Structure 1
Amino acid sequence: MKSRHPDLPVFIVGHSMGGAISILTACERPSDFAGVVLIAPMVQMNPDSATPFKVFLAKVLNHMLPSLTLGSIESKWVSRDKKQVEAYDTDELNFHGGMRVSFGMQLMGAAARIEREIPSINWPFLLLHGDADKLCDIRGSRMMHENAQSSDKKITIYEGGYHALHHDLPEVAESVLTEVTSWITERLPATKSPQPQGS
């Protein structure tokens, strides 16, 4: 995008695991982005499910049976909109199988890297998270908002919101789109209007 539009600021928007990737990308190349928008990002593992025993077990299994599959995502927690859940279930581009142990280890590694990076984050970011999200722990978003150095940071909690806020109930999805658009627009450089000829 930078080579195609060298004069335009670049923003990165990431959701869920894409949120984790966006955070790590912005940490590696902070000067590439004018801002980062994160919708229900995976910032840390849910401490209720990633107990010390389960983490230990995952490490053992990763050495012995790395391709062993664990439980898959329950699609009913993606959105409160039944049509969106049906669309998720029938989308062939979504992976509907179980998560492999080796993949789970990669997620844990990413979460550990993010936790180390958060105190040095100083780029602008907007965090959006539903407080009923059962797939990515909201505590991670709160922790990032509290501990990042950024002077330009904002968190919006959607009451009752599920995981894919941009595909949640129509009024929530619309509110998310409006907020993201406004946040980005406010950070665009002011453009000079062309002067009329002969003035």
Structure 2
Amino acid sequence: MDECKIGSKITGTEKALVFIAHGAGEHCGPYDEIAQRLKELSLLVFAHDHVGHGQSEGDRMIIKDFQVFIRDSLQHIDQMKSLHPDLPVFIVGHSMGGAISILTACERPNDFAGVALIAPMVQMNPDSATPFKVFVAKVLNHLLPSLELGNVESKWISRDKTKVEAYDADELIYHGRIRVSFGMQLMGAAARIEKEIPSIGWPFLLLHGDTDKLCHISGSKMMHDQAPSSDKKIKVYEGGFHALHHDLPEVAESTLKEVTSWIKERLPAS
């Protein structure tokens, strides 16, 4: 688990802790801008590269159990809480990191002041998770778990070509094909989330583009509609692609402002 040094400066005036969970194949480097905006609010921001990602150990994009991501997140959060026991804790998660964030908060529903989710993976894409395709994936996972399927098409990350080029050029991002076993772990995580949604009472913010082809917006809508939380908000970006924080400049700026203002509104009065 490689820790990002995006929030290591301690000033003694921190108002809250914020853990950032990155998406599948990524690392925490692309979240520097979000982290900087949050640090301007006197928040202590921290993150790490998930196992098998970025500079962390492990085979690339191979995980025996999705719970490992959640375990590592809770351990990192506990480490920071031990140093700052009086500060509230928020989570910001994108894509698969959104799924990690949701399940992390569900394990300790009273521990978090809020969870901000940018295009989270809540459900599998209906087009790629038809009953027949799921059946075939289960058979292949049993017979050939290392079989490689498709890869993430970077053109769907952002409408900003410079951001797509930066994504393609980033050597810490995994650009290979996703294995059957990893896909099954994602499906299992989505199934867990669907079971947890009726019991979600913690505050959450959902930001999603309505043309996201990597994490379908139906999952965010389902979570917003079905979670009983009394403090929940969803904002849909018309035409928005997957990485809203790296989409067209006006969308990226709006996303950053939504996340920072939402957290700021939930900080304890100083």
Superposition TM-score, scaled by structure 2 size = 0.70
The structural deviation recorded for 1:32 is 2.0
Whole-Å Cα distance in 2 between the matches of residues 174 and 74 of structure 1?
A: 24
Of 160, 167, 190 in structure 2, the residue corresponding to residue 88 of structure 1 is 167
Residue identity (%): 83
Whole-Å Cα distance in 2 between the matches of residues 4 and 173 of structure 1?
A: 32
Of 200, 203, 217 in structure 2, the residue corresponding to residue 121 of structure 1 is 200
Which residue identity does 2:145 align to in structure 1?
P
SS in 2 for 1:58: helix
Of 189, 199, 202 in structure 2, the residue corresponding to residue 110 of structure 1 is 189
SS in 2 for 1:71: coil
SS in 2 for 1:30: coil
Of 251, 257, 269 in structure 2, the residue corresponding to residue 172 of structure 1 is 251
Which residue identity does 1:29 align to in structure 2?
R
Q: Which has the higher contact order (CA 8 A, sep 6+)?
A: 1
Superposition TM-score, scaled by structure 1 size = 0.95
Structure possessing the higher radius of gyration over alpha carbons: 1
Whole-Å Cα distance in 2 between the matches of residues 22 and 57 of structure 1?
A: 29
Of 40, 43, 67 in structure 1, the residue corresponding to residue 146 of structure 2 is 67
Aligned pairs for 1:24-173 (under 5 A) are: 24-173=103-252
Runs of 4+ in structure 1 off by over 4 angstroms are: none
Structure 2 residues without counterparts, runs of 5 or longer: 1-79
Q: Provide the aligned length of Structure 1 versus Structure 2.
A: 191
Which residue identity does 1:149 align to in structure 2?
P
Whole-Å Cα distance in 2 between the matches of residues 170 and 156 of structure 1?
A: 17
The structural deviation recorded for 1:182 is 0.6
SS in 2 for 1:141: helix
The structural deviation recorded for 1:95 is 0.7
Q: What is the aligned-residue RMSD (CA, Å)?
A: 0.7
Which residue identity does 1:53 align to in structure 2?
F
Structure 1 residues without counterparts, runs of 5 or longer: 192-199
